[in-house]
């Protein structure tokens, strides 16, 4: 068959986005410009469906999924869902492997299930399957056929013929008696560094495949499976097979599991003559053999390590269905190892490329380049026989030793082994890290002395690609700038060009601020501040790079002999190191490099959520979040892409709702939870990071556990995963782990709380919050942090998550008696904790430690999570509102803000004082933080405050907070040139990261509240959608907004706008809302009337036939792109003049925040055939009803799948309350929702308000 990903449509609905075990085939990564050697950039791999091994339990299920969309011209009634489907699977010789036949969906419970299990024959390792989905619409028309997709079948861990192999020199050096680092916090760094250095350059490997005359014509398909530690890049016959190498494989606890990749290399063998082929592997250090640095924030010595190693084998399938494994790695003449062109590669400090050897090695991985063992005089490489990597310990022993240090706190625990164990091999369960986007240079600045500053206009994680190579280097007359020098042996000097990366610039010099991106947090404080000790070398150990001059720098080096300057034309990019940056410095060359791009690398999941509005600052907040998330999703979800690169539970708790709005994380978040369950300690404790680094131990419960919020991520994320993706097998697989964590938490909690707070028997009299002393809580809030509340709330969240999961297993029919009992106990525990919090906090019609006290979280957390008793909710809301919406100011005197104000021109200071943006007293000037117009909460409270305000009728306050142009807020970040979310609300020049998505909950609020689309709280698998636009009651902040939300069913979208010529002075305005609900979904539309004290009418129409939405999307994207190129977004920034030592406000238009309108309002949809309209009356006094019938006066209307046009004719606009006193004395209406007690109790199926 002519292989094609295109679909054909004969029904009103078509299937698309085919996936197996949540993984989609990727033909070519978005940031790749040339085709890869394999048939596709990423081929999903599954295990044989018959595989079962009790000693190595793995998920061998083959679950097929697909999404649905309507087609142009499809009728409204026909596109409601599908009535039947058919799955056809073939091998690459077009032989049918499985044909499900036409399956009637009405015979399945609740219609189409979330996945279809493989129903074909047993699949042997090496098989490559092409498959397609055909569907029939609700009127029986069809079928429409999807495009073809593929997956391969890999060997189980105990079914590999290949063995782990390494370079013999690396094994020898690693076995040296002074090499030991595991658990040694202060090891003999000089000796360890010397031995580590002797393992450089990094190895390359190649294996020869011989195909005979008899077998060549019989080959049907060829599947190459491979992996390497720490990282690997695969080629065949000199052709790179994939664009992946960075973080390949993704970080796991490799003593438990290691991911491998599969490559469809059929085109190299099928229909080709007999002969030789050569597989090539380049190895990188990754987390497995990193530079031995003793860091402040990353403790490598608690992670498994060893010499670089690989495993690979080729599976050939013949025309009679038989398979053969070719050239497995092992101690055989088919494999050779040598030392390659990468002299050094470290994920933190960067990569060093030998351009001379790189040039000489061209063709080394092809049949023509093959030679016998020994020295190859042409390349200078000595090819040696492989040596097997054989650990001298087991995973169980390794874990016991780690627990001795982590759980028992035995400071004298030492390793008794040399080579760490390697766990089971499984196909990668998440898409690989791939190049997603290429971003051209915006500006190039001459910093002098041959140093060039490249500004790519946006912060990313990835690398720089020099399409035309680098210019020849020069030696700068005034000496090399900081971090650009290189110490070389006398008489062996080479030419070099350095590339240094960072995400911000220094105030004084306009070059890269190295301190803010210092790896491991190792720096001397920089030129202005002494926030760290000055002797970085002493803290870091002997392997600290002296040329980094006090700051552990992100730096790559390209080197060549002095008589070969032409080689720098081959300096294109690095292979294994990724950096966090917006800016790059190239030093030192006579001319700047040309044709330069930054390349964003992240895990290649699909982006399926978007948001836009008329407000630049709100759009900017969303973009800051998206850019930061894009920078921190490289196999794990990290805190920042340069300093630590660790997966913190608290960060994911805070921003996973935003992440799941933006991206399809069905596979990625399975992997994330597995990262925690596989490193869970035997006592049941989860850690604060997915790999234990002995961080923040004082905030946890001891015995290896993390702080309550951080360590509760696994059960909470599992519940959220079920809500979005409906994967009951995932719930079943992880349930017991979460129960063990809850059991551990229950055994430690009360004693720890008494020890920390001492408030076991009173009502918290005198307690005012803990300032992170007894936990992390609402981390980095500007308000006082209430850790007593967050400890208890997330203990409750753990119990609720387990109750939720047990309930889902009961609904699925797979819960045994023990599971049901555990679920009841967990639900009872959750109620007990909730009642305890209420008894402590409910006092004098408020729900916080003291009425009016500015703490975070405040009553917004218990209101949002359905803890507040229904009869008290209105009073508590009013009291909290008087604080949250108050017009009072709070002083902020942070170091950088004080310096900023002290260096303002007098005229500017007076203007800001007049506007009360800043204040002044006897101690000098300070920043004004306006409660009603600022976002001062920390990583947790930002979500609860915004969502609670918008849900309970005070959306205008939430809008004001996020759109605020002053300190603290998102616009404040952008005014200092931020393109990614900062770690803090305040500006830091010497400590906190500027690419850190912790505060990213604002993106979920933007899409679900400002635009108005989200998953329904009680849905599973994303089937039920909630369309609830919080239409503002004035036109001061937002006049239109839109969002799309991907689900496993299909893509949903909403857009609304005010319509009228003069909105500024209008008293009433027309509101138009467009809604798109995908086939197979249930759409719940909630009328936006909270805060209104009058009746209004709305009309609802649906599109009788679906218009051409693809053209509309293309038009809208083109218009938006033009607007962004014109930089219609955020319009200014503060610039520091080092000569005058003054800050000046500069009008400088930017792309970030550019308003764009939805495709749902594109002009191409003007001729849509709308149905007759139905009249709805909006009555504010009507109670909220959980009814889907859509009868007149109800606030919740059920909409079946389709495209809708809703018009509210006379939406009343009102003046906003004055800033003083704001809502500090508010006695007006609270609307009807807070008094509706049916929504005050947590529903066991509600994953949204679980925490």
Q: Is the pLDDT of residue 3 over 60?
A: no
User: In 3D, which of 490, 496, 632, 494 has the Cα closest to residue 571?
Assistant: 496
In this prediction, residues 573-579 reach a mean pLDDT of: 96
Give buried/exposed letters for 268-279 (b at 16+ CB in 10 A, else e). bbbeeeeeebbb
CA geometry: angle 433, 437, 438, nearest 5 deg: 125
Q: In the beta sheet, which residues pair with residue 153?
A: 46
In this prediction, residues 775-779 reach a mean pLDDT of: 91
Q: Coil, strand, or helix at residue 1159? A: helix
- Please indicate whether residue 545 or residue 528 has the higher confidence score (pLDDT): 545
- Taking the C-alpha atoms of residue 727 and residue 59, their distance in angstroms, rounded to an integer, is 13
- Taking the C-alpha atoms of residue 450 and residue 587, their distance in angstroms, rounded to an integer, is 6
Q: What is the pLDDT of residue 1?
A: 39
Q: Is the pLDDT of residue 53 over 60?
A: no
- Taking the C-alpha atoms of residue 1025 and residue 1188, their distance in angstroms, rounded to an integer, is 12
* Phi, psi of 909, rounded to the nearest 5 degrees: -60, -45
Q: What is the pLDDT of residue 64?
A: 96
Q: What is the pLDDT of residue 751?
A: 92
Cβ neighbours of residue 394 under 8 Å, at least 6 residues apart? 421
The answer to whether 421 and 255 are in contact (CB under 8 A) is yes
Q: What is the pLDDT of residues 1125-1148, one digit of tens each?
A: 999 999 999 999 989 999 999 999
Q: Is the pLDDT of residue 988 over 80?
A: yes
pLDDT interval class at 1194 (50, 70, 90): very low
Q: What is the pLDDT of residue 178?
A: 63
In this prediction, residues 1022-1031 reach a mean pLDDT of: 95
pLDDT interval class at 59 (50, 70, 90): low
Q: What is the mean pLDDT of the chain?
A: 91
- Taking the C-alpha atoms of residue 135 and residue 100, their distance in angstroms, rounded to an integer, is 12
Give buried/exposed letters for 93-122 (b at 16+ CB in 10 A, else e). eeeebbebeebebeeeeeebebbbebebee
pLDDT interval class at 56 (50, 70, 90): very low
Q: What is the pLDDT of residue 550?
A: 87
Q: In the beta sheet, which residues pair with residue 855?
A: 784
Give buried/exposed letters for 447-457 (b at 16+ CB in 10 A, else e). bebbbbbbbbb
Query: Poorest-confidence range of 15-29, 358-372, 510-524?
Result: 510-524
Q: What is the pLDDT of residues 1158-1192, one digit of tens each?
A: 999 999 999 999 999 887 765 544 433 333 333 33
What pTM, to 2 d.p., does this model score?
0.96
Q: What is the pLDDT of residue 187?
A: 64
Quick one: CA dihedral 1064, 929, 996, 1000, positive or negative? negative
Helix ranges (H only) for 254-394 are 266-269, 355-360
Q: What is the pLDDT of residues 293-339, one digit of tens each?
A: 887 788 888 899 999 999 999 999 999 999 999 999 998 889 999 99
Taking the CA atoms of the chain, what radius of gyration do you get in angstroms? 30
In this prediction, residues 228-255 reach a mean pLDDT of: 94
Cβ neighbours of residue 400 under 8 Å, at least 6 residues apart? none
- Taking the C-alpha atoms of residue 109 and residue 86, their distance in angstroms, rounded to an integer, is 17
Q: Work out the percent of the chain whose per-residue pLDDT is above 70.
A: 93
Q: What is the pLDDT of residue 1024?
A: 95
Quick one: CA dihedral 956, 957, 960, 962, positive or negative? negative
Q: What is the pLDDT of residue 882?
A: 86
Q: What is the pLDDT of residues 944-985, one digit of tens each?
A: 999 999 998 899 999 999 999 989 999 999 999 999 999 999
- Taking the C-alpha atoms of residue 1151 and residue 431, their distance in angstroms, rounded to an integer, is 30
Q: What is the pLDDT of residue 7?
A: 61
CA torsion angle 247 252 257 263 (round to 10): -20
């Amino acid at each position: 068959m002519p292989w094609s990903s295109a679909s054909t449509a004969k029904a009103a609905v078509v299937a698309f986005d085919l996936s197996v075990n949540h993984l989609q085939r990727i033909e070519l990564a978005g940031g790749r410009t040339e085709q890869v050697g394999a048939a596709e950039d990423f081929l999903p791999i599954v295990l044989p469906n018959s595989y079962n091994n009790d000693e190595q339990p793995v998920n061998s299920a083959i679950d097929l999924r697909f999404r649905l969309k309507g087609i142009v011209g499809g009728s409204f009634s026909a596109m409601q869902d599908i009535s039947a489907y058919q799955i056809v699977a073939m091998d690459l010789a077009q032989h049918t492997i499985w044909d499900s036949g036409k399956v009637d969906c009405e015979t399945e419970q609740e219609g189409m299930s979330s996945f279809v299990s493989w129903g074909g024959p047993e699949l042997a390792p090496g098989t490559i399957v092409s498959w397609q989905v055909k569907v029939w619409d609700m009127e029986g028309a069809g079928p429409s056929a999807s495009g073809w997709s593929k997956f391969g079948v890999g060997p189980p861990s105990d079914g590999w013929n290949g063995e782990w192999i390494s370079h013999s020199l690396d094994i020898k050096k690693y076995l040296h008696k002074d090499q030991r680092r595991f658990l040694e916090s202060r090891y003999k760094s000089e000796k360890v560094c010397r031995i580590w250095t002797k393992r450089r350059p990094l190895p390359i490997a190649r294996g020869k495949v011989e195909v005979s005359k008899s077998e060549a014509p019989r080959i049907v398909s060829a599947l190459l499976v491979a992996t390497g530690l720490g990282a690997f890049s695969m080629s065949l016959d000199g052709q790179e097979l994939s664009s992946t190498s960075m973080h390949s494989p993704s970080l796991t606890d490799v003593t438990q599991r290691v991911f491998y990749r599969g490559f469809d290399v059929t085109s190299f063998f099928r229909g080709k003559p007999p002969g030789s082929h050569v597989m090539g592997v380049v190895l990188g250090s990754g987390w497995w053999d990193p530079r031995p640095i003793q860091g402040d924030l990353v403790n490598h010595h608690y992670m498994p390590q060893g010499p670089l190693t690989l495993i690979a084998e080729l599976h050939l399938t013949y025309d009679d269905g038989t398979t053969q494994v070719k050239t497995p790695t092992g101690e055989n003449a088919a494999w050779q190892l040598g030392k390659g062109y990468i002299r050094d590669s470290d994920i933190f400090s960067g990569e060093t490329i030998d351009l001379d050897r790189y040039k000489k090695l061209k063709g080394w991985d092809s049949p023509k380049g093959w030679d016998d063992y020994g020295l190859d005089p042409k390349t200078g490489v000595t090819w040696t026989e492989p040596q097997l990597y054989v650990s001298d310990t087991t995973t169980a022993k390794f874990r016991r030793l780690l627990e001795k240090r982590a759980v028992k706190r035995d400071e004298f625990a030492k390793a008794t082994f040399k080579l760490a164990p390697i766990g089971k091999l499984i196909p990668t369960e998440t898409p690989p890290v791939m190049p997603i986007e290429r971003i051209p240079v915006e500006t190039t600045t001459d910093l002098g002395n041959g140093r060039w500053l490249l500004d790519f206009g946006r912060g990313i994680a990835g690398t720089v690609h020099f399409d035309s190579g680098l210019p020849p280097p020069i030696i700068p007359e005034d000496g090399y700038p900081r971090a650009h020098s290189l110490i070389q042996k006398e008489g062996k000097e080479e030419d070099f060009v350095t590339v240094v990366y960072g995400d911000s610039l220094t105030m004084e010099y306009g070059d890269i601020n190295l301190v803010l991106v210092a790896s491991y947090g190792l720096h001397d404080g920089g030129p202005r501040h002494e926030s760290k000790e000055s002797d970085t070398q002493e803290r870091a150990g002997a392997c600290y790079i002296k040329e980094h001059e006090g700051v552990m720098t992100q730096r790559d080096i390209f080197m060549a002999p002095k008589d070969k300057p032409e080689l720098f034309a081959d300096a294109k990019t690095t292979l294994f190191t990724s950096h966090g940056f917006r800016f790059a410095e190239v030093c030192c060359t006579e001319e700047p490099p040309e044709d330069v791009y930054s390349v964003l690398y992240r895990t290649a999941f699909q982006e399926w959520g978007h948001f836009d509005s008329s407000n630049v600052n709100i759009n900017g907040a969303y973009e800051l979040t998206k850019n930061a998330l894009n920078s921190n999703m490289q196999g794990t979800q990290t805190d920042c892409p340069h300093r630590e690169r660790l997966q913190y539970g608290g960060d994911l708790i805070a921003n996973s709702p935003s992440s799941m709005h933006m991206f399809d994380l069905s596979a990625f978040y399975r992997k994330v939870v597995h990262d925690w369950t596989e490193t869970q300690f035997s006592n049941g404790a989860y850690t604060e990071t997915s790999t234990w680094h002995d961080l923040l131990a004082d905030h946890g419960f001891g015995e290896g556990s993390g702080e309550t919020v951080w360590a509760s991520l696994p059960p909470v994320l599992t519940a959220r995963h079920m809500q979005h993706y409906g994967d009951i097998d995932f719930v079943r697989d992880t349930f017991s782990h979460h129960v063990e964590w809850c059991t551990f938490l229950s055994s430690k909690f009360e004693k720890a709380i008494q020890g920390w707070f001492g408030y076991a028997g009173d009502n918290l009299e005198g307690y005012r919050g803990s300032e992170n002393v007894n936990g992390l809580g609402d981390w980095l809030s500007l308000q006082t942090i209430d850790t007593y509340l967050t400890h208890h709330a997330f203990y409750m969240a753990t119990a609720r998550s387990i109750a939720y999961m047990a309930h889902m297993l009961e609904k699925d029919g797979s819960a045994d008696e023990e599971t049901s009992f555990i679920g009841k106990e967990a639900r009872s525990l959750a109620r007990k904790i909730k009642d305890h919090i209420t008894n402590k906090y409910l006092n004098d019609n408020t729900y916080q430690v003291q009425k009016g006290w500015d703490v975070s979280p405040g009553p917004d957390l218990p209101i949002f999570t359905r803890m507040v008793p229904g009869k008290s909710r209105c009073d508590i809301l009013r009291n909290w509102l008087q604080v949250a919406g108050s017009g009072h100011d709070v002083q902020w005197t942070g170091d950088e803000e004080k310096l900023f104000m002290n260096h303002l021109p007098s005229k500017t200071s007076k203007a800001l004082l007049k506007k009360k943006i800043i204040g002044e007293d006897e101690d000098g000037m300070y920043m004004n933080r306006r409660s009603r117009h600022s976002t001062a909460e920390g990583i947790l409270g930002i979500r609860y405050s915004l969502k609670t305000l918008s849900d309970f009728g005070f959306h205008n306050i939430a809008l004001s907070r996020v759109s605020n142009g002053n300190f603290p807020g998102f616009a404040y970040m952008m005014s200092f040139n931020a393109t990614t979310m900062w770690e803090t609300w305040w500006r830091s020049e010497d400590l906190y990261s500027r690419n850190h998505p912790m505060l990213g909950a604002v993106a979920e609020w933007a899409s679900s509240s400002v635009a108005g689309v989200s998953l329904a709280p009680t849905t599973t698998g994303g089937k039920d959608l909630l369309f609830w636009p919080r239409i503002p009651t004035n036109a001061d902040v937002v006049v239109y907004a839109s969002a799309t939300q991907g689900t496993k069913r299909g893509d949903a979208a909403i857009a609304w706008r005010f319509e009228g010529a003069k909105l500024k002075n209008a008293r009433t305005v027309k509101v138009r809302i467009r809604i798109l609900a995908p086939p197979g979904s249930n759409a719940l539309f909630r009328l936006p009337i909270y805060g209104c004290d009058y009746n209004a009418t709305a009309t609802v129409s649906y599109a009788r036939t679906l218009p051409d939405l693809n053209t509309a999307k293309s038009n809208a994207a083109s218009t938006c792109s033009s607007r962004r190129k014109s930089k219609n977004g955020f319009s200014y920034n503060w610039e520091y003049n080092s000569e005058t030592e003054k800050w000046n406000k500069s009008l400088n238009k930017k792309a970030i925040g550019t308003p764009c309108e939805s495709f749902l309002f594109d002009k191409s949809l003007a001729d849509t055939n709308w149905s007759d309209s139905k009249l709805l009356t909006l009555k504010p006094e009507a109670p909220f009803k959980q009814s889907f019938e859509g009868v007149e006066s109800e606030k919740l209307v059920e909409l079946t799948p389709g495209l809708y046009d809703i018009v509210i004719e006379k939406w009343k606009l009102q003046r906003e309350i004055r800033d003083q006193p704001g809502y500090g004395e508010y006695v007006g209406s609270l609307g009807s929702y807070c008094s509706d007690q049916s929504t005050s109790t947590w529903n066991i199926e509600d994953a949204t308000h679980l925490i």
